[in-house]
Structure 1
């Protein structure tokens, strides 16, 4: 993670989400470095399924910043976004022809979002 001076950050984490980390990173790359209002607008209008979970985490981080550090929501920026792939993968099997089984791997991830303001 890049280190930025004179920055106060607050984070929120969503754990064990049933989202592929590569698909989550596609959305997180779009919101990284933007202010809170733009981030909310982008997430509401993007057509991906993971946007709902990421929107909840962004709103949680903003609420943490407002309640714990007395920040104003309009001054917040999304400073860092991470999607960490977990080793725990749900494994399922789909029946195929002639008695075979086809493995299906359902990945999970943790999503961390840091919001902050310049001091």
Structure 2
């Protein structure tokens, strides 16, 4: 048996808590940047017209700086240009209960929602490490493809089921 060295992917995150917006509105912007490279994500958020875009841009830049700082402090080799947005989440924070005046001396309650925004960036695997891992186990994907092809051929050879002819009863 040979031991395979598994390289742990480092994640760097930043949070902005108690933002005065609903999580639903923040998720509209966060969904645009999920999975993008950091540079492209910053450009996307910078030119977005949503109200939460500047806040999310600030959190994204903070996550990048966290990656830079931790890599310098711990002596890690993190390439900031190789980072991508791994997760971008807007969780619900506490709700503020407020009262709106209503006709005839009554009052209606409404809630102001708050959001906790969390952005996590991680380093993409370099091409060298991807090719090395692909060279170690090339047989498994080939076997899966062959199994799929044989299953597709056997399904194609089966004749279509015939429908029974229905006859109308004559009066």
CA distance in 2, matches of 1:73, 1:101: 53
**Structure-2-length-normalised TM-score:** 0.62
CA distance in 2, matches of 1:24, 1:58: 13
Query: Is the Cα–Cα contact under 8 Å of residues 32 and 78 in structure 1 kept in the other structure?
Result: yes
C-alpha root-mean-square deviation of aligned residues, in Å?
A: 1.5
Q: Work out which of the two has the higher radius of gyration on C-alpha atoms and give 1 or 2.
A: 2
Which residue of the partner structure matches residue 108 of structure 1? 114
Does the residue aligned with 1:19 lie in a helix, a strand or coil? coil
Does the residue aligned with 2:35 lie in a helix, a strand or coil? coil
1:91 pairs with 2:93: no
Determine which structure has greater relative contact order: mean sequence separation of CA pairs < 8 Å that are 6+ residues apart, divided by chain length. 1
Query: Is the Cα–Cα contact under 8 Å of residues 82 and 123 in structure 2 kept in the other structure?
Result: yes
Q: Which runs of 5+ in 2 are unaligned?
A: 1-6, 73-77, 126-171
Q: Which runs of 5+ in 1 are unaligned?
A: none
Query: Is the Cα–Cα contact under 8 Å of residues 6 and 118 in structure 1 kept in the other structure?
Result: no
Instruction: Choose between structure 1 and 2: higher strand proportion.
Output: 1
**Structure-1-length-normalised TM-score:** 0.87
Shift >6 Å, 4+ stretches:
none
**Aligned with 1:52 (options 51, 54, 60):** 54
CA distance in 1, matches of 2:40, 2:86: 13
Question: 1:63-103: per-residue Cα shift (whole Å, max 9, x none)?
Answer: 000111243332110011111112x2111111121112122
Which residue of the partner structure matches residue 78 of structure 1? 85
Query: Is the Cα–Cα contact under 8 Å of residues 18 and 114 in structure 2 kept in the other structure?
Result: yes
Alignment map for 1:30-69 (pairs within 5 Å)? 30-69=32-71
Query: Is the Cα–Cα contact under 8 Å of residues 8 and 118 in structure 1 kept in the other structure?
Result: no
